[in-house]
């Protein structure tokens, strides 16, 4: 399987979006805050890596760190501004989309970062350089694999920690959590900035994998949607949901757009993707992963209960 370059590059994207999905999942599935503008954080991470590397030759490791700090602070300030003034629920979601669109337009007009013409990384030389995070497609596949594993383990770790309990309490009933002494305002800012910082890390690697950065594709509405499709299709708030969802959705989308191209039907992938999204939400409301879990339980599969404690979101 891994000999085929197409499969490798597709799996790299699937794993990267698993990681990005985990970061989004942390925010809604555990923290209870809906973001539909995650592209903002992904884009900030990508541009931090891109600008530092392409313009100054600084290692992407530094870029990743810069991006995480930058996106974390932007996320924290958006959260601070909105919760300060009691902007919440759907209004908060619309604020995230507005912030992302604003940033996208600003970056499209900013000559220093390449504006609409984009930013290009130098072509890979073929050798693997860990210190510069450069290598061939297979190298990036393992980077993405490590990142996805880190995301899954990290989410599991956070959700079992003190913070996980506090955040879920806050998600389920904010006033009750407050009454028990949880400083919900600070905790909401914390969960959003952690989610933003991890999304930026994913965005930085995504930019390296793609070799170029364009404001419309890295900060556009489309990317925000791609980020949240994995967790929602796979199962919100579950540990493996984002992985299962990305595995199902991304190859389907690629397949359909290839089919549409070869048949010369330009909208085919949109139609199938749309129909699939609606049907998943319609027939498997809590996602694919919980459905698999139910199926396994029904046929009495061996008990590995720690894998599938479901953490559903109820708004």
Partner 1 sequence: MLSLWLNVLASGILLGLVYGLIALGLTIIFGVMRVVNFAHGEMVVFGVYIGYWTVRLWNVPIIVAAAIAAVVMFAFGYLLEALIVKRFVNRPHHYQFIVFIGLSLLFSGTLLVAFGPDPRPTASQLSFQTVSLGLVTLDLARLQAAATAGLLIALLGAYLKFSSFGRSLRAAADNRLGGLIVGLNIPRVYAVTFGIGAACAGVAGALISPLFDAQPYLAVDFTLLAFVTVIVGGLGSFGGALLGGLVIGVAEAIAALMFTPSMKTALPYALLIIILVFRPRGFFGAKEI
Residues that bind partner 1 (CB under 8 A): 28, 34, 36, 81-82, 85-87, 89-91, 93-95, 97-99, 101-102, 105-106, 108-109, 221, 225, 228-229, 232, 236, 265-278, 280-282, 285, 313-315
Query: Are β-strands 212-213 and 119-120 bridged in parallel, bridged antiparallel, or unpaired?
Result: antiparallel
Burial (Cβ within 10 Å: 0-12, 13-18, ≥19) of residue 115: middle
Asked if residues 108 and 216 have their Cβ atoms less than 8 Å apart, the reply is yes
User: 102 or 157: whose CB is closer to partner 1?
Assistant: 102
User: 126 or 267: whose CB is closer to partner 1?
Assistant: 267
Least Cα distance to 219 among 230, 206, 237 occurs for 206
> Shortest gap between Cβ of 107 and partner 1 (angstroms)?
10
- Beta-ladder partners of 134: 129
d(C-alpha 66, C-alpha 46), whole Å? 10
User: 85 or 306: whose CB is closer to partner 1?
Assistant: 85
Asked if residues 49 and 204 have their Cβ atoms less than 8 Å apart, the reply is yes
First CA to last CA across the chain, in angstroms? 42
d(C-alpha 302, C-alpha 315), whole Å? 33
User: 12 or 246: whose CB is closer to partner 1?
Assistant: 246
User: 121 or 289: whose CB is closer to partner 1?
Assistant: 289
Asked if residues 243 and 315 have their Cβ atoms less than 8 Å apart, the reply is no
> Shortest gap between Cβ of 42 and partner 1 (angstroms)?
17
Q: How far is Cα of residue 273 from the mean position of the Cα atoms in its chain?
A: 19
Asked if residues 96 and 35 have their Cβ atoms less than 8 Å apart, the reply is yes
> Shortest gap between Cβ of 151 and partner 1 (angstroms)?
19
d(C-alpha 37, C-alpha 18), whole Å? 17
User: 61 or 273: whose CB is closer to partner 1?
Assistant: 273
> Shortest gap between Cβ of 97 and partner 1 (angstroms)?
7
d(C-alpha 172, C-alpha 121), whole Å? 44
> Shortest gap between Cβ of 36 and partner 1 (angstroms)?
6
- Beta-ladder partners of 129: 134
> Shortest gap between Cβ of 305 and partner 1 (angstroms)?
26
User: 156 or 216: whose CB is closer to partner 1?
Assistant: 216
User: 87 or 145: whose CB is closer to partner 1?
Assistant: 87
d(C-alpha 96, C-alpha 35), whole Å? 6
> Shortest gap between Cβ of 142 and partner 1 (angstroms)?
31
> Shortest gap between Cβ of 34 and partner 1 (angstroms)?
5
């Amino acid at each position: 399987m891994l000999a085929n370059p197409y499969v490798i590059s597709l799996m790299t994207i699937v794993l990267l979006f698993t990681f990005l999905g985990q970061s989004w999942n942390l925010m809604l599935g555990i923290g209870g805050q809906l973001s539909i503008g995650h592209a903002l954080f992904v884009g900030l991470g990508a541009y931090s890596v891109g600008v530092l590397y392409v313009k100054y030759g600084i290692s992407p490791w530094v870029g990743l760190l810069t991006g995480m700090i930058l996106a974390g602070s932007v996320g924290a300030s958006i959260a601070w501004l909105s919760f300060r003034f009691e902007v919440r629920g759907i209004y908060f979601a619309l604020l995230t989309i507005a912030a992302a669109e604003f940033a996208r337009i600003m970056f499209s007009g900013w000559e220093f970062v390449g504006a609409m013409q984009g930013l290009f990384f130098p072509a890979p030389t073929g050798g693997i350089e860990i210190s510069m995070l450069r290598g061939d497609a297979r190298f990036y596949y393992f980077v993405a694999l490590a990142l996805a594993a880190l995301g899954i383990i990290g989410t599991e770790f956070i959700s079992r920690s003190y913070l996980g309990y506090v955040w879920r309490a806050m998600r389920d009933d904010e006033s009750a959590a407050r009454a028990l002494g949880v400083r919900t305002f600070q905790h909401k800012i914390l969960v959003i900035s952690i989610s933003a910082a991890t999304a930026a890390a994913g965005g930085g690697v995504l930019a390296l994998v793609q070799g170029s950065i364009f404001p419309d594709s890295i900060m556009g509405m489309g990317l925000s949607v791609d980020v949240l499709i994995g967790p929602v299709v796979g199962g919100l708030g579950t540990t493996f949901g984002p992985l299962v969802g990305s595995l199902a959705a991304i190859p389907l989308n690629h397949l359909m757009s290839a089919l549409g191209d070869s048949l010369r039907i330009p909208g085919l992938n949109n139609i199938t993707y749309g129909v699939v999204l609606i049907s998943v939400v319609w027939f498997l409301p809590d996602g694919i992963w919980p459905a698999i879990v139910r199926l396994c339980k029904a046929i009495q599969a061996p008990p590995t209960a720690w894998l599938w404690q479901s953490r559903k979101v109820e708004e």
